[in-house]
Amino acid sequence: MDKIVIHGGQRLKGEVLISGAKNAALPLLFATLLAPGRHRLANVPQLRDIDTVAELLTTLGATVERADGLFTVGADAIMSIEAPYELVRTMRASVLVLGPLLARHGEARVSLPGGCAIGARPINLHLKGFEAMGAKIVLDHGYVEARAKRLHGARIYFDLPTVGGTENLMMAATLAKGTTILENAACEPEIVDLANALNAMGARISCAGSDTVTIEGVEDLRPLDYAVMPDRIEAGTFMVAAAITRGDVKVTGAVASDLEALIAKLRDAGAEIVEESGGLRVKGPRRIESVNIKTHPHPGFPTDMQAQFMALMTLGQGTSVISENVFENRFMHVCELQRMGADISIEGHSATVKGVKGLTGAPVMATDLRASASLILAGLAADNTTEVARIYHLDRGYERIETKLKQLGADIERVRA
């Protein structure tokens, strides 16, 4: 099993190119199931989760060709409507296959996804929406079985904003009869990217990115030809990397409008951030100021940046309070940061971080995807050597992160454990 070894203390400097967004690419790949023909999707990152989707599409009967970030998916002969547990259990986003299969083929059998390290994310909001659109839902031996001769439009209110639920129902509604309105919908930029791609296929979606999305169903869609948006979470991670090492990094591909909450907090922490052609330039502060954050659905501070920002706050001048309002169990990185000398205490959904003069390298273990990134960031700023184990989490969401950091001057390498 691989691990990341970091010799800390190097100031990052230079330019890094952000890869395509994992959280945008996954639903876009599933959207290929909505229409027959050859679909082209560019700027797809090379990640373990992408591999899982490719395998699942192949299992369903699609053909998948890959070359330098370009995916070509042939979706003419979908021979199966079942997403097996063996694949779905490795990636929760696999449940997004449900909407496209149900919309195009009238039935789907998809394994219920299991829990994950940052807490349960049930799909009951997805299923309630499908039932409102006329689907018959049966839970049988750990599988969701859904059937509908043709879905019909409906007004659907989400009790809580759900990114996956918004994506799943939005895809299904493109081929439903009539108009579907999703209320209290998720507003993340990846939702907008999916809507733009579906509209390019011939869908009629309006107001994506707001809390009320309207989808007018059409009879059929044409093949997808689209490029995935840059990954705002990867961009945010490199922005924090520049700040925590007091570096000077241009993050090419970073979009300011997608990162407003993070930019505001980084500026409060003392970082200088300016828009430059094609991206953002981040200069780290000589003195890191402590800042309070509260995670919220977009446009609030993203939960996927909480662990990385906490790593920065361990070196803040003062005390910061970090409140996690999206997922339970998302402070599992705290114990590992404490091993590096961080002063953090947890009470309920809040962590109090008292800044220390410096972190010390140590062997640490990643517990989830974003925790992996936070430990690498801490290792970049720490004295001596940090070894991050269980980095298979990292490979689910960051494309060649150690290579990109090394190009910026980090002393980092991937080795066999």
Hey, is 7 helix, strand or coil?
A: strand
Flag whether pLDDT at 13 surpasses 60: yes
Mean pLDDT of 87-109: 90
Its pTM surpasses 0.85: yes
Q: Is 116 a catalytic residue?
A: yes
Measured CA to CA, the distance from residue 375 to residue 363 in angstroms comes to 10
* pLDDT value of position 122: 67
pLDDT at residue 119, as a whole number:
44
From the CB of residue 187, how many other CB atoms can be counted at a distance below 10 Å?
19
- In CATH, the number for domain 2-19+230-416 is 3.65.10.10
Q: What is residue 416's predicted lDDT score, i.e. its pLDDT? A: 87
Q: What is the reported pLDDT for 361? A: 97
The active-site residue out of 116, 187, 207, 335 is: 116
Condensed to tens digits (0 to 9), the pLDDT of residues 257-291 reads 999 999 999 999 999 999 999 999 999 999 999 99
Q: What single-letter amino acid sits at 213?
A: V
Q: Output the pLDDT for position 118.
A: 37
pLDDT over 70 for what percent of the chain?
97
Q: Is the pLDDT confidence value at 397 over 50?
A: yes
22-227 CATH: 3.65.10.10
29-85 pLDDT per residue, tens: 999 999 999 999 999 999 999 999 999 999 999 999 999 899 999 999 899 999 998
Q: Do domains 2-19+230-416 and 22-227 have the same CATH topology?
A: yes
For 81, 96, 290, 349, the CA distances from 285, given in Å and listed in that order, are: 53, 41, 12, 28
Residue 116, pLDDT > 60, answer no
- 155 sits in which H/E element: strand 155-157
Phi, psi angles (nearest 5°) of residue 169: -75, -35
In this prediction, residues 348-359 reach a mean pLDDT of: 96
SS3 letters across the chain: CEEEEEECCCCCEEEEECCECHHHHHHHHHHHHHCCCEEEEECCCCCHHHHHHHHHHHHHCCEEEEECCEEEEECCCCCCCEECHHHHCCCHHHHHHHHHHHHHHCEEEEECCCCCCCCCCCCHHHHHHHHHCCCEEEEECCEEEEECCCCECCEEECCCCCHHHHHHHHHHHCCCECEEEEECCCCCHHHHHHHHHHHHCCCEEECECECEEEEECCCCCCCCEEECCECHHHHHHHHHHHHHCCCEEEEECCCHHHCHHHHHHHHHCCCEEEEECCEEEEECCCCCECCCEEECCCCCECHHHHHHHHHHHCCCECEEEEECCCCCCCCCCHHHHHHCCCEEEEECCEEEEECCCCCECCEEECCCHHHHHHHHHHHHHCECEEEEECCCCHHHCCCCHHHHHHHCCCEEEEEEC
Where in the chain are the domains? 2-19+230-416, 22-227
Q: 381 versus 91: which is more confidently predicted? A: 381
Tell me, what's the pLDDT at 114?
55
- Nearest-angstrom CA–CA distance, 391 and 52: 17
